[in-house]
Structure 1
Amino acid sequence: MDTSAAHDHRPTPAQQALDALAVNAEDQAALDTLAHSDVLVPVPDDALDEEGAEASSLALPVLEQPGGEPVVPVFTTEGELGRLLPFISRYRLVPLGALAAQWPDEDLALAIDGNSAHALTLTSRRVRTLLAR
């Protein structure tokens, strides 16, 4: 019996944390797991690598949700990224807690795994208060 395909569909710890937060938005263990997880931040293919740009700097991709709210999409796996943004082939792997700790003050939501079964969207304030570690 080939079990490799079954392993491919197992939720990652970050996805399990997202599922737990869907049930209880204040689940501290799930928030800790999520804050310590790496996420994929899409880099548009037409983005140029600026000479002299600091390796620690990161340009956040901002999409507009229906209704006009700006949101930064991040993903827990390459598969989730490919399903929602198939035209993106590059990304940066970033610890979510570090990203949250430097979250801009502007009203900018964070969407984790977009329209997937594990999706979670947080307001700017909740990103900074719940995930910044």
Structure 2
Amino acid sequence: MTDTAIGRTVTDFHSQGGGGSAAQQALRAVVEGTVDEAALSTLARSEVLLPTGTDAEGPAPKALTLPVFEQEDGTELVPVFTTQDRMEQALPQIKRHRNVVLGVLAHGWPSERLSLVIDAGTPEELALTAHGVKELLDREET
């Protein structure tokens, strides 16, 4: 991953057309380069799904633990998803998740080494460095 705040990982983002949730529309605007403050605020206020584990049984974890996936190049990333369908497509083995507000997650982002990937494997997939997470999603109003 480069030092840029935003990394576009999917180039064919026009193929899906319009529609989707407000969060997905805001994501699309960021990916397409037509983002404005309203879209960033919408994205920051959006609730996303944070994968928490493969075990569907037992109590949900009380502490928020970020799922960190390491890429072949050593990049460490945390995936979040705008819908359960998108999470299940990308990570079919994951059976549990926690709902978190993206801006709140960004406000407490724990490390300069961690990247965030929103909706991995979709045309709106967005990869952000830690700097990008703070710059784009850590909003006062969340």
**TM bracket (short chain):** 0.7 to 0.9
CA apart distance, 1:64: 1.3
2:127 maps to: 121
- Counterpart of 2:126 in structure 1: which amino acid? L
**Root-mean-square deviation (CA), in Å?**
2.2
- Counterpart of 1:18 in structure 2: which amino acid? L
Q: Which runs of 5+ in 2 are unaligned?
A: 1-17
Picking from 57, 64, 83, the partner of 1:58 is 64
1:102 maps to: 108
Tell me how far apart the structure 1 counterparts of residues 26 and 138 of structure 2 sit (CA, whole Å): 16
Tell me the alpha carbon deviations over residues 22-79 of structure 1, each in whole angstroms, 9 at most, x when there is no partner.
12275222111100000000011259869xx7x4x31000001231200000000000
The alignment covers a number of residue pairs equal to 121
Q: Which runs of 5+ in 1 are unaligned?
A: 1-8
2:12 maps to: none
- Counterpart of 2:111 in structure 1: which amino acid? D
Tell me how far apart the structure 2 counterparts of residues 118 and 75 of structure 1 sit (CA, whole Å): 11
**Alignment identity in percent?**
46
1:82 maps to: 88
Instruction: Normalising by structure 1, report the TM-score.
Output: 0.82
Tell me how far apart the structure 2 counterparts of residues 78 and 10 of structure 1 sit (CA, whole Å): 17
**Larger Cα-atom Rg:** 1
- Counterpart of 2:31 in structure 1: which amino acid? A
